[in-house]
Amino acid sequence: MKKHGKRYNALVKSFDLNKDYLIREAIDIVKGNATAKFDESFEISCCLGVDPRKADQMVRGTVSLPHGTGKQVRVLVLCKTPKDAEAKAAGADHAGLEEYIEKIKSGWTDIDVIVATPDVMGEVGKLGRILGPRGLMPNPKVGTVTMDVAKAVDELKAGKIEYRVDKTGNIHAAVGKCSFTKEQLSDNLIAFFSSIVKAKPATAKGKYVKGVFVSSTMGPGVKINDVAFMQEVK
């Protein structure tokens, strides 16, 4: 069983683990407990009443956070000329095709997101065993397979993130930094949660949102009153 250190145990005692907090109360607690020597990410975890083993209950999508994530997103665009110049002009960190295909085959994955144009997906698909497990495979459903590479890069750099329910029915994402203001974190949380609510599968039965927790990278989770939170997104 995992053991926590003295710092973590002290933070747990700073609030009531059995209480469901309002969103702004929870933000205050998490920000106050973010005492690590670096700017911790502000994270949200949602437990959903879905069965991810069923294709029609898969919850997946993207959302553009109003204030970004606070993280520099490294974007690679796999495309042919002249799209590579278009991608670089939009702010892509890397753009091209053959050179990066070979680098990835050699084990290079020093990027956060890969965007690809539809005409090169035949070649990109061959990298599935490398990119798939790392969550880097471009997908048209989340906007990373497109001819409009400039728009895709702009959105990713501005704070567009992808989410996907895991095999246990949970969704986890970093939606900012603890150095963000309370208002910025509140806006980002509401935008993220609103997207999750709208992505509810038609076949999901019973209670959709079973629990919502927020935390910092190194801190304990604080439970949010999901009923009150739901009112924020309507």
- Report the pLDDT value the prediction gives residue 2, as an integer from 0 to 100: 61
Round the average pLDDT of the chain to a whole number and report it.
Answer: 93
Question: Tens of pLDDT along 190-214?
Answer: 999 999 999 999 998 899 999 999 9
Reply yes or no on whether the pLDDT at 234 is more than 90.
no
Give the model's pLDDT for residue 1.
47
Residues of the chain with CATH 3.30.190.20: 17-69+160-232
Contact between 189 and 66 under an 8 Å Cβ cutoff? The reply is no
What mean pLDDT do residues 4-22 have? 84
Give the residue among 21, 34, 73 at the shortest CA–CA distance from 177.
Answer: 34
CATH 3.40.50.790-classified regions of the chain: 75-157
Return left, alpha or beta for 149; rule: phi > 0 is left, psi -120 to 50 is alpha, else beta.
alpha
The pTM of this model reads 0.85
Matching CATH number, 17-69+160-232, of 3.30.43.10, 3.30.190.20, 3.40.50.2300, 3.40.50.11720 = 3.30.190.20
Under the banding of pLDDT at 50, 70 and 90, the label for residue 11 is: confident
Question: In angstroms, how far is CA 5 from the centroid of its own chain?
Answer: 27
Residue 49 CA to residue 27 CA, distance in Å, equals: 25
Q: Which residue has the tokens 């109003």?
A: 66
Average pLDDT over residues 128-155: 94
- 75-157 homologous superfamily: Ribosomal protein L1/L10, domain II (3.40.50.790)
Interval 166-189 mean pLDDT: 96
